[in-house]
Amino acid sequence: HVQLVESGGGSVQAGGSLRLSCAASKVTFRQFSLGWFRQRPGNGREGVAAISPDGITNYADTVKGRFTISRDNTKSTLYLEMNNLRPDDTAMYYCATDFVSSPDTLMALTPDLGYWGQGTQVTVS
């Protein structure tokens, strides 16, 4: 059973920071890449960042240098540190996976991933 539960969204001013968290079921966390995805108003879901079980990362060009994905294997938790937020970062952010080990593959599968959390809203004004 795959369980993904996001938290940490909110409203911030441009230039501010937020940290998102995703608690994942232990089996999923240990074996597969996990990623953060978002859906901006009027758009489809897009990949933001993904990370493999051993820490290899993949970032969308739009967030490189501003966002950092990380994982705590002892807590089975995925994080997304978001700095220098911009109004166009406003979106529903989702944690997702699809039983693949490569973060590149996970990002390439967007939006056709099999397992999604419920999402957490980020609003930047």
- Tell me the average pLDDT of the chain: 94
- Which pLDDT band, with edges at 50, 70 and 90, does 74 fall under? confident
pLDDT, tens digit, 9 for 90 and up, residues 22-56: 999 876 678 899 999 999 999 999 999 999 999 99
Share of the chain above pLDDT 90, in %: 88
Question: Which amino acid is residue 26, in one-letter code?
Answer: K
Task: Give how far the C-alpha of residue 58 lies from the chain's centroid of Cα atoms, to the nearest Å.
Answer: 11
pLDDT score at 26: 73
